[in-house]
């Protein structure tokens, strides 16, 4: 495993466990499942259409958000916009008119981690025109071909014996 892969795996694990390590903001990063490329173009879209994650799921209600703010000070940085089918949508309070972050050096870990493989795996999508891109390291067809070549698919076939046959 390369150092880049190892460090990104540590970062993703940290994100999921609540003990994040900063992800480099620009350049190519290789995770366990995705290759990230590009960099921030300071469009501000990611700061105006945010779904916050708590306990591996998005914040679902304004009541939940209010409770979280009592225990997690970083949640104070976000203003709720509306509730959607995916959870509560937020905007960052510190995004300036020129799309720069007013607290860039002190920004929360949530922002330092963006965009992350973990977020993509939770269903996040990059904003249209975002300078970052994610590409799956292995395509689904390649994974299925490997599975068929190794015979793994045979292990997972359904036992089709009649119910009255004794198990061997």
On the 0-12 / 13-18 / 19+ scale of CB atoms within 10 A, 117 is: buried
Q: Is the pLDDT of residue 82 over 90?
A: yes
* CA-based nearest residue to 29, from 104, 119, 147: 119
Better-scored residue on pLDDT, 27 or 98 = 98
Q: How many CA atoms lie within 13 A of 90 on its CB side?
A: 25
> Which pair of structure tokens corresponds to residue 23?
């992800």
* Cα 31 from Cα 99, distance rounded (Å): 28
Q: What is the pTM of this model?
A: 0.60
Mean of the per-residue pLDDT values for the chain?
A: 75
Token pair 């009541």 is found at: 63
Confidence of residue 152 (pLDDT cuts 50, 70, 90): low
* Cα 138 from Cα 151, distance rounded (Å): 19
Phi, psi of 107 (to 5 degrees): -60, 155
């Amino acid at each position: 495993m390369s150092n880049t892969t190892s460090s990104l795996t540590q970062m993703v694990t940290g994100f999921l466990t609540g003990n994040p390590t900063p992800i480099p903001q620009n350049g190519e990063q290789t995770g366990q499942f995705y290759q990230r490329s590009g960099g921030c173009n300071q469009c501000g879209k990611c700061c105006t259409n945010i779904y916050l994650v708590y306990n591996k799921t998005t914040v679902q209600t304004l009541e939940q958000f209010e409770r979280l703010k009592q225990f997690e000070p970083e949640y104070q940085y976000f203003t709720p916009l509306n509730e959607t089918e995916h959870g509560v949508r937020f905007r960052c309070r510190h995004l300036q008119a020129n799309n720069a972050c007013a607290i860039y050096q002190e920004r929360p870990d949530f922002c330092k981690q963006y965009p992350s493989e973990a977020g993509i795996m939770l269903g996040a999508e990059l904003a249209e025109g975002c300078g970052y891109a994610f590409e799956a390291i292995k395509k689904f067809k390649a994974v299925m071909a490997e599975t068929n070549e190794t015979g793994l698919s045979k292990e997972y076939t359904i036992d089709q014996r009649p119910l009255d046959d004794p198990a061997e």
